[in-house]
Amino acid sequence: MKRRDFLVSTFASALAISALDFKQAHAYNIPYNGLIDIQMNGKSQYLDDYTPFIDENNRTMVPLRFVSEKFGRTVDWHEESRYAIIRDDDSKALYFPVHSNFYIRNDGETIEMDTESVIHNNRLYIPLRYLAEELSLRVDFTFNNNKPLIVLEDKLYINSRNPDLKSYSVYPFNATILYTYNDLVADLNWLKRYYGDVLDIHSMGKSTSGEYDIWGIRLGNGEKVATAHGAMHGNEWLNIPILIEQIKEYASLYKSNGYYQGKNVRQLLDDVSIHFIPSVNPDGTALCQFGAYAFPQRAEELYRLNNNHVPAGYDFTRWKANINGVDLNRNMDTGMRELLRDDISNRRRPGFLEPTYAFFMGDDVESEVESKILCNHYRQKNSVLLLDYHSSGRILYWNFSNTNYNRQDDGSFVQVPDLLTTQARKIASAMSSVTGYINHDASAVHNNTTINRWGTYRLQIPSITVETTNVVDVQRTVGAMKFMNAYFNERSRVLYATLTAVAAI
């Protein structure tokens, strides 16, 4: 068997990770009662029955699945052979057998450990030092309220807090408040574990960078499909956790055969399924949250794009586009691209006719991977509803360009059936009643190239833009408490918005 010298990560100083600091706590007049808290990327974790402990070999043991999934890995359990597999997006896999003092990498290398993995509280626990090394985590031991605390941080989180990096995010609050891609994956893993029997959770493809999956989650068995997608704009990532909360609530009602507004949720969703796409633009969100450091190989190019037309320096918090500088919400074929180009030129905003932080339509329709994935989903499914979640204004927009402004590039006019307008009005009214949002007929909005107009004109299905909050306009200046209050307030407002829309079809 082979063994490597332990190094927590290539970017952190070596730490002697053992239980000694905790068991010798009495030297600092701190009582040690065997309970250990854990903090991951600045967020305290509710452990319940996942509490770390110290084994008879004086080693700190942590729950494999809980820690791995919190840092964006997936974990599979093989009951027959009694081992767990940790996987990441780079095809790396680690095999941890139960009651063994070794684990195996997918390249065949066997790594010895100085204590055995064990089953504790029906969970597989392994030594922290080896898991930290494999996940490239920085580890620290400290005390919080006289209680031992393990602090785990990954590289992206560490650098997001480093003021010496020009590319760090300039949000006015600590990065722990951000809802990152790893948080999304952790929530999806939680959903798989508790609602995997009623949810179909799948990757719809990779983002342009190839570093992130675009996830789809389907609930219900209905052939007709209503879709709610969010975060087409990178800086509107607040809707990702909002949509995840909707999934959790609806899955619970579906599984328990519960009711909403007098309707059986299972029967409702077995007639019209809901397909969620919480994060259409994960590259753009990573740029918004962490700056160009998120993609160091393209940092110079991204700095240039971020300063095109309206300079912003190293502040990426306004970033809407994907990593190519294309605004995904303007990359659809609505028949009005040339009209919009003329409009941009007439307003003397030529910077938006080339890649930049927002508004650029792209060189061709559906030129971007993310746009193709989203549009193909709507085209290939039996779509009956398009809900486009954004973050500006607490307004429901529908009926885009359905009066005098529906002229196409070729000079023709497209008329939307009256029945479609009536359906959209009915659904928007129902959503307005539960959210308190303004119900806005957008027929007077001209030269619109968004996916809302694409769904209305090309697919001819009810298409509604849900602007959940005005926080996107102020999140660069408000404090952490105001930002979090906005999230919790908005989450409660729109918790049943999508389900209400489906019920109104």
> From CA 408, how far away is CA 339, in angstroms rounded?
8
CA distances from 425 to 298, 459, 462 (A): 44, 17, 9
Residue 83 near residue 97 (C-beta atoms within 8 A): yes
Can you give the pLDDT at residue 193? 86
* Secondary structure string (H, E, C) spanning 324-382: CCCCHHHCCCCCCHHHHHHHHHHCCCHHHHCCCCCCCCCCCCCCCHHHHHHHHHHHHCC
> From CA 12, how far away is CA 206, in angstroms rounded?
30
> From CA 379, how far away is CA 365, in angstroms rounded?
15
Q: How far is CA 199 from the centre of its chain?
A: 17
Average confidence (pLDDT) per 10 residues, the chain, 505 residues: 30 35 40 66 72 85 90 88 85 90 92 93 91 86 76 70 43 67 88 93 96 96 96 93 95 95 95 97 92 84 84 82 95 76 59 84 94 95 93 88 53 72 94 94 74 90 91 54 71 91 91
Can you give the pLDDT at residue 340? 67
- Hey, what are 174's tokens? 């600590």
**DSSP readout, 37-74?**
EEEETTEE---TT---EE-TTS-EEEEHHHHHHHTT-E
Q: For the chain, which domains are there?
A: 20-153 (3.30.457.10), 175-285+328-392+454-503 (3.40.630.10)
Can you give the pLDDT at residue 117? 94
Close Cβ partners of 380 (under 8 Å, ≥ 6 residues apart): none
Whether this model's pTM surpasses 0.85: no
Nearest 5°: the CA angle 171, 177, 181 is: 95
Close Cβ partners of 185 (under 8 Å, ≥ 6 residues apart): 69, 72, 73, 74
Can you give the pLDDT at residue 81? 87
Can you give the pLDDT at residue 174? 55
Catalytic residue among 133, 134, 467, 490: 467
3-state SS class at 123: strand
Residue 467: active-site member: yes
> From CA 424, how far away is CA 399, in angstroms rounded?
7
Can you give the pLDDT at residue 168? 44
Could you identify the residue written with the tokens 């193909």?
A: 376
